């Protein structure tokens, strides 16, 4: 399950990188929470996420709940991008909408795997 969660983060990472305006960033996309430029930046959340989730080696050591939170952030981000582009995530067959549906299914699958078996009662 860990590998699948990490793999699911690949597409939104590419999307986030493509949407960040690196040329305008005085920090060269290196998020520094204490820096005033980062605090005022419109892309603070996206940049912070990338800096926390950019290295696959870090993701391998992350607790599963943290990976799930990262994936949930990405689902919201990609879904918002799709909404701005007037896509209907439930019906659209594009890569972004398909990714959102698959990522949501993966989250539900992970949550269901953590639920106690109700047949034991």
Give pLDDT, residue 98.
97
The domain limits of the chain are 2-120
Per-residue CA distances from 34 to 22, 26, 38, 47, 52 (Å):
19, 14, 8, 14, 15
* pLDDT tens digits, 29-68: 778 888 888 888 888 888 888 888 877 668 888 899 999 9
Assess whether pLDDT exceeds 60 at residue 121: no
Give pLDDT, residue 56.
66
Assess whether pLDDT exceeds 80 at residue 22: no
**Smallest Cα–Cα separation from 47: which of 60, 37, 57, 56?**
37
* pLDDT tens digits, 54-107: 776 688 888 999 999 999 999 999 999 999 999 999 999 999 999 999 999 999
Measured over the CA atoms of residue 45, residue 47, residue 48 and residue 49, the dihedral's sign is positive
Q: How many angstroms separate the CA atoms of 103 and 121, rounded?
A: 31
The confidence band for 119, taking pLDDT boundaries of 50, 70 and 90, is: low
Q: How many angstroms separate the CA atoms of 48 and 22, rounded?
A: 14
């Amino acid at each position: 399950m860990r590998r699948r969660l990490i793999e699911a983060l690949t597409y939104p990472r590419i999307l986030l990188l493509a949407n960040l305006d690196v040329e305008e960033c005085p920090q060269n996309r290196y998020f520094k929470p204490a820096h005033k430029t980062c605090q005022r930046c419109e892309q603070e959340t996206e940049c912070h996420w990338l800096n926390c989730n950019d290295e696959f080696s870090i993701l391998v050591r992350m607790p599963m709940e943290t990976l799930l939170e990262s994936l949930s952030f990405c689902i919201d981000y990609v879904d918002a991008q799709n909404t701005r582009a007037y896509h209907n995530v439930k019906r659209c067959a594009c890569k972004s909408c398909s990714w959102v549906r698959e990522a949501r299914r993966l989250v539900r699958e992970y949550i269901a795997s953590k639920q106690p078996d109700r047949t034991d009662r």
